[in-house]
Amino acid sequence: MGKMNSELLQAIGAVNGAASPLTYREATGDRSVTLDRYEKEVLQGFYSGMDFPRRGGAGDSQVNEEFQFYIHEYNDFENSTLRSLPIVYPKREGNELRLYFNTLSGFTIDTSAYKRITGAGKDVHWYIFRNAEDGFPHIGMADSEYLTGYPLQLRADPLTGEPDDTLYQAALQNVLAGEKVVLKSLGYLRNEQVAATAIQAAEFRCEADPDHKTFTSAATGKPYMEGHHLIPISYQGEFEHSIDIKENIVALCPNCHRLLHHGTNDEKEEILLKLWLDRKEALFQKGIKIDLKTFLGYYMV
């Protein structure tokens, strides 16, 4: 497979990385992987001399063959444990470099699992990557489906701490229509009832610009508006008082709302300045005291 593409690198927070399919012989016979030039390139970022022990030389048994790696469990890019693994040049000469499986370290796959996964039409890959913070390489194994699907996985929105806002906005429409909705299962920090009060107070108009046109909500028969926490709910930890209050929730048309979550800093700032001036006093009254710079900082990417 070679080098990881930029989408995958970005998704896993890596600077560089490489992956290749695990061959039948590596998985069932050698119980090790042979590094290709891309994988060696990643390793070179940590061990520039690539001074790994060589088997078959004099004093062979004295050589320390263990090196540190962050080892990931199968199909898991997120979690890893720092463990040591043997890495050696298995031959007296040449550049063939091998990383050995090790059951204790977790960098392994048993023969039956390998056969089961490949039998189901997937390839087993092993990968190595480097991220900016860690002093050792990350390695692990994953099946081809997991590797190709990963770049598409949603990351949490930094403003809400959740990957998707749709359920909350849908619940809000229902609450505005007078229905009782409880989103228990997702453990939301936000109460739709509070947002409903804020939207009613705004008379179903976009608070960035009351002239913004939307469409009529089927649930309420009123212009469709979304609720947005001006001080993002993901920053609740920095405040003693709740920020899930009507003073902190603004009604926005879907376009302005998406802009605050996904727009460029310049475009966001325009709207944020207006909303800040409108709400700053009410927030102060509720004991929520921050300055403009801190506030804007929550949104700058």
Report the residue number, 7 or 270, with the smaller CB distance to Zn ion.
270
Residue 289, SS3 per DSSP: coil
Compute the C-alpha angle 44/128/30, nearest 5°: 100
Give the DSSP H/E element, type plus range, for residue 197.
Answer: helix 192-201
In the chain, the amino acid numbered 280 is: K
Report the residue number, 116 or 262, with the smaller CB distance to Zn ion.
262
Q: Is 208 in the site for Zn ion (CB under 5 A)?
A: yes
Q: Is 83 in the site for Zn ion (CB under 5 A)?
A: no
Round to whole Å and give the CA distance between 245 and 181. 18
Report the residue number, 150 or 224, with the smaller CB distance to Zn ion.
224
Q: Is 141 in the site for Zn ion (CB under 5 A)?
A: no
What's phi and psi for 230, nearest 5 deg? Answer: -60, -50
Q: Which of 198, 206, 245, 275 binds Zn ion (CB under 5 A)?
A: 206
Residue 152 DSSP code? G
Residue 77, SS3 per DSSP: coil
Report the residue number, 39 or 165, with the smaller CB distance to Zn ion.
165
Using the rule CB under 5 A, give the single segment among 13-21, 88-96, 174-182, 250-258 that binds Zn ion. 250-258
- Nearest approach in angstroms of CB 245 to Zn ion is 15
Using the rule CB under 5 A, give the single segment among 128-136, 142-150, 185-193, 251-259 that binds Zn ion. 251-259
Q: Is 228 in the site for Zn ion (CB under 5 A)?
A: yes
Token digits for 204? 């179903």
CA Rg, the chain, in Å? 27
Identify residues 19-38 at the interface with Zn ion (CB under 5 A).
none
Q: Is 172 in the site for Zn ion (CB under 5 A)?
A: no
Kindly list the distances between the CA atom of residue 256 and the CA atoms of 34, 195, 216, 225, 271, in Å, as whole numbers in the listed order: 52, 16, 17, 10, 8
Using the rule CB under 5 A, give the single segment among 23-31, 119-127, 225-233, 274-282 that binds Zn ion. 225-233
- Nearest approach in angstroms of CB 195 to Zn ion is 10
Round to whole Å and give the CA distance between 87 and 79. 22
Beta bridge partner(s), residue 67: 85
CB-closest chain residue to Zn ion: 256
In the chain, the amino acid numbered 51 is: D
- Nearest approach in angstroms of CB 284 to Zn ion is 22
**Residues counted in the chain:** 301
Using the rule CB under 5 A, give the single segment among 34-42, 124-132, 135-143, 199-207 that binds Zn ion. 199-207
Using the rule CB under 5 A, give the single segment among 35-43, 92-100, 183-191, 245-253 that binds Zn ion. 245-253
Q: Is 256 in the site for Zn ion (CB under 5 A)?
A: yes
On whether the CB atoms of residues 252 and 228 are closer than 8 A, the answer is yes
Q: Which of 117, 196, 230, 253 binds Zn ion (CB under 5 A)?
A: 253
Compute the C-alpha angle 15/17/23, nearest 5°: 170
Nearest to 252 by CA among 230, 220, 282: 230
Q: Which of 3, 115, 212, 222 binds Zn ion (CB under 5 A)?
A: 212
Q: Is 199 in the site for Zn ion (CB under 5 A)?
A: no
Place of tokens 């039409």: 121
Report the residue number, 15 or 156, with the smaller CB distance to Zn ion.
156
* Residues binding Zn ion (CB under 5 A): 206, 208, 212, 228, 253, 256
